[in-house]
Amino acid sequence: MLNRLEAQSPDALLALIKLHAADERPDKVDLGVGVYRTGQGDTPVFAAIKRAEQALVDTQESKSYLGPEGDMGFVNALMPYIFGTDATMGGRISGMQTPGGTGAVRLALALAQRAGMERLHMGTPSWPNHKQIIDDLGLELAAFGHAKADGTANLDAVLAAIRGAAPGDGVLLHGCCHNPTGIDYAADDWDAIGDAIAETGIFPIIDTAYQGLGEGLEEDAAGLRSVLAKVPEAFIAYSCDKNFGMYRDRVGAFYIMAGEGESETLNTAFSNANALARASWSMPPDHGAAAIRLILRDRAMTEVWLDELDQMRSRMRQVRERLAEAGVAGGVDLAPLGSQNGLFSTLPVTKEQVVRLREEHGIYMAGSGRINIAGLTMDNIEKFIGALADVTG
Ligand code: LMR
C-alpha cells in the first residue's frame, strides 16, 4: 500500500532551518523562518514565561486531561487583549485553545467547510501554510493580489473580491503584520473592508499571529475590532507563538463571534469545533497555555511580558528604519520597509538571486524573497544591504 504514495518535497520554509544549520560559515545570516531574534541573534525564552513555568513546576497539581477546548482560563484571559474591554462583545464571542496558530487556522477552515463554505478568498502572497491547509481540506482558493507595487495594500483588490463573492464564500484576512509582506491595511481600509463584508455577507476569517509585533498590542488589534463591530459572524485564529515566544510549545486559540442574541448558535458552533478538535488532536498541549494563563492573571508578570514585547517591537522598528534609510540597494528599493509591520517583508528578488544570496553570501531567506526582519542585527545589516546590492545590481 505504501508504494502508492508519491514523495512530497519538504516544506520549503522548514527545510531552510536545516540548510542554515548545516552551513559552517561563521558570518551566515538567517532570515528564514519567522522567529524573533535579539540584537545578539538569540531567541531566548521570555523572562515572564520562565517565571510562569517555575510557578507551574511549584504549583501544578495534575496533568490529567482537560478536554478538546483546552485551558479555558488561558483562552478567556487573552480575550481583552484581542477584543478590547467588552471582550465577549456582549456574549457574542467565545473561544477554545488550539495547538498553535496553525491548529486555529485548520479548525477555522474545517468548521467553515462543515458549515457549507466551499470557496475561500485570500490575498496572495500569503503564508504558504494557508494554501496547504486550504488544499488539504479540498476548499477552492480564490486568490486576489494583496499588495501594490509601491509596497502598500491593494484595497481595491480585496473589496472587489468581497463584492464579487458568491453566497457561502469566505475571506481570509491577516489581522496585522501581514505574512509574508509586512503590508497591513490602514484604518480606513479596514473600515471599508468591514462595510463590504457586512453588505455582501461573505464569511470573515481573521488570522492574527503577530499581535504586538507591529505598532503595539492595541494598535495591532484595531483592524480586527473594526471588522467585528460591523459584521454578524466571524472566526478568529490566534497564535501566541511569536508574542510570547512559545513557538515549539504550540499555543493558539480559536474564537467564534456569533450574531447578537444567538447564544444557541454559538454553542452549536462550538459543539462542532470540539468534535473536529477531538477527531484531529483530541486536546491541545497544555504547558504553554497554562504558563500564559499565569502571566495574564498576575499583574507583575504581565508587566514583564509587556516590557519584553515592547523591546522586540522597538528592535524591529530600528532594523526597519536602518533598511529604509539605506534606500536603494542594487535593484531593490528598501524605503517601503520602513512603513511595513512585523517580522516580515518581501523583497522583489528572483529565485536565482535568493540562491546567490545563500551560496555566495551565506544569507538565508525564503524562495519568495521574504525576509525575517528580526534576523538582521546592527552587526550584519550592512553585510545584508551590500550582498543585496551585489546580487541585484
Ligand atoms: C513563518 O511563517 O515563518 C512562521 O509562521 C513559522 C511557520 O510555521 O511557518
268-282 pLDDT, tens per residue? 999 999 999 999 999
- Cα 16 to Cα 20, 32, 188, 203, 367: the distances in Å are 6, 7, 37, 35, 10
Residue 24 lies in a domain: yes
**Same domain as 337, residue 292:** no
Task: Mark 84-95 as b/e (b = at least 16 C-beta within 10 Å).
Answer: beeebbeebbbb
Give the atom of ligand 1 at the shortest distance from the alpha carbon of 102. 8
pLDDT for 10 = 83
Give the three-state DSSP class for 205.
Answer: strand
- Domain finish residue from 251, 272, 297: 297
Known catalytic residues are 127, 207, 242
**Same domain as 335, residue 283:** no
- Domain finish residue from 244, 272, 297: 297
210 Cβ closer than 6 Å to some ligand 1 atom: no
CATH (domain of 114): 3.40.640.10
**Same domain as 108, residue 35:** no
Strand ranges (E), the chain: 29-30, 93-99, 119-124, 140-145, 170-174, 203-208, 234-239, 251-257, 328-329, 332-333, 344-346, 363-364, 370-372
* Centre of ligand 1 from the C-alpha of residue 323, in Å: 22
* Centre of ligand 1 from the C-alpha of residue 174, in Å: 14
Grid coordinates representing 367 are 524562495
- Domain finish residue from 268, 297, 326: 297
Closest CA to 80 of 193, 183, 225, 234: 225
Q: Nearest C-alpha to atom 6 of ligand 1 is from which residue?
A: 34
**Same domain as 134, residue 169:** yes
196 Cβ closer than 6 Å to some ligand 1 atom: no
Residue 52 lies in a domain: no
pTM to 2 decimal places: 0.96
Task: Mark 183-197 as b/e (b = at least 16 C-beta within 10 Å).
Answer: bbbeeebbbbbbbbb
175 Cβ closer than 6 Å to some ligand 1 atom: no
**Same domain as 254, residue 375:** no
Name the residue of 16, 30, 33, 207 whose CB sits within 8 Å of the most ligand 1 atoms, as the mutation to test its pocket.
33
Q: Nearest C-alpha to atom 4 of ligand 1 is from which residue?
A: 34
Number of structural domains (the chain) is 2
pLDDT for 11 = 84
Give the atom of ligand 1 at the shortest distance from the alpha carbon of 32. 3
pLDDT for 50 = 98
Which phi and psi angles does 35 have, rounded to 5°? -125, 145
Residue 172 lies in a domain: yes
**Same domain as 279, residue 223:** yes
Name the residue of 129, 213, 241 whose CB sits within 8 Å of the most ligand 1 atoms, as the mutation to test its pocket.
129
**Same domain as 238, residue 322:** no
**Same domain as 342, residue 212:** no
β-strand 29-30 against 93-99: which pairing, if any? unpaired
pLDDT for 12 = 85
Domain that holds residue 326: 11-45+314-392
CATH (domain of 346): 3.90.1150.10
For residues 252 and 103, give the distance between their C-alpha atoms in angstroms, rounded to a whole number: 7
**Same domain as 116, residue 35:** no
- Cα 369 to Cα 35, 146, 196, 330: the distances in Å are 17, 15, 32, 15
**Same domain as 382, residue 287:** no
**Same domain as 223, residue 356:** no
**Same domain as 131, residue 261:** yes
> pLDDT tens per residue, the chain (393 residues)?
999 999 988 888 888 999 999 999 999 999 999 999 999 999 999 999 999 999 999 999 999 999 999 999 999 999 999 999 999 999 999 999 999 999 999 999 999 999 999 999 999 999 999 999 999 999 999 999 999 988 899 999 999 999 999 989 999 999 999 999 999 999 999 999 999 999 999 999 999 999 999 999 999 999 999 999 999 999 999 999 999 999 999 999 999 999 999 999 999 999 999 999 999 999 999 999 999 999 999 999 999 999 999 999 999 999 999 999 999 999 999 999 999 999 999 999 999 999 999 999 999 999 999 999 999 999 999 999 999 999 999
Query: Can you tell me which residue has the cell 508519491?
Result: 6
Residue 307 lies in a domain: no
For residues 130 and 204, give the distance between their C-alpha atoms in angstroms, rounded to a whole number: 15
pLDDT for 134 = 98
pLDDT for 170 = 98
Which phi and psi angles does 372 have, rounded to 5°? -90, 110
